[in-house]
Amino acid sequence: MDQQRAGETARILIEALPYIQRFSGTTVVIKYGGNAMENEELKNSFARDIVLMKAVGIHPVIVHGGGPQIGDLLARLGKESKFVQGMRVTDSETMDVVQMVLGGLVNKEIVNLIHRNGGRAIGLTGKDGELIRAKKMLLKGDSNDPALKAPEIIDIGHVGEVQGIDVRVLEMVAGSDFIPVIAPIGVDDEGISYNINADLVAGKVAEVLRAEKLILLTNVSGLKDKQDNILTGLSAQRVQELIDDGTIYGGMLPKIGCALDAVQNGVHSAHIIDGRVPHAVLLEILTNQGIGTLITRR
């Protein structure tokens, strides 16, 4: 290593030091999905980030998605994917595929990646120890029939929302050398399984753990204003103003809603960052500039 490169390496380490000192001993919940899960280089980059975080005393908890992988397997089985209001219609047969893909294929691949990069991880679904208690999600649709005064209720099958998180399971794992990797499958009081949006699960996990940070990996560079500039350092009030004036709309609204709920319920900060950037998690947590959108309660 030449002197210039050595100096640059030292500068980076010194810049990271105060962040390591500040966040050592804290919990960071990371929602992992999108392009970061589909590119081999990015998958290894993410795993190395997680292993390094654990090595310096930060406690990462991973909640992962897997929509594209579910869609691919359904297509190979000759089953069409259907969506209502962005939610996958999940009949019993589709739920079997969801459990195979999320609880098996995707979850164990992430665990294996962490092991290959020198860490220790344990894979969980919300069914393990009844970690995620769920209830059926019913969507409301607008009815075209003027005789119906109430909105139409749409049943999309085994799609759920979080009713509760058993924090004891997570504290047992997160307080050890192991990194929890959670598939967003919940179970109700009757033992019925539900597919739950990974952002929602990550937000609720962050809340019950009183996490320092909630990090949502996305396929965009962050929240942008109408001039296409990335916005960061936003308070919950400012985010609400951006929703009201139409700056935040469409597919970004659910993620923003998840981030707002988290910071308003005890999480110190929420971050929306671009999972397509190598080492995105470390760049956001351990550098002065960061790479995405930071949201705090105030």
Q: Binding site, residues? A: 66-67, 88, 195
CB environment 257-296: b (16+ within 10 A), e (fewer): bbbbbbbeeebbbbbbbbbbbbbbbbbbbbeeebbbbbbb
Grouping H, G, I as helix, E, B as strand and the rest as coil, residue 109 is helix
Residue ranges for the binding site for substrate?
66-67, 88, 195
CB environment 29-44: b (16+ within 10 A), e (fewer): bbbbbbebbeeeebbe
CB environment 151-172: b (16+ within 10 A), e (fewer): eeeeebbbbbbbeebeeebbee
What's the start-to-end Cα distance of the chain, in Å?
A: 44
Q: How far apart are CA 121 and CA 51, in angstroms?
A: 9
Strand pairing category for 59-64 and 27-32: parallel
Cα angle value 34/51/38 (rounded, 5°): 20
Q: Could you give the C-alpha distances from 70 to 1, 65, 163, 185, in angstroms and in order?
A: 44, 10, 24, 13
Q: How far apart are CA 38 and CA 50, in angstroms?
A: 17
Grouping H, G, I as helix, E, B as strand and the rest as coil, residue 177 is coil
Q: How far apart are CA 66 and CA 109, in angstroms?
A: 11
CB environment 184-196: b (16+ within 10 A), e (fewer): bbbbeeeeebbbb
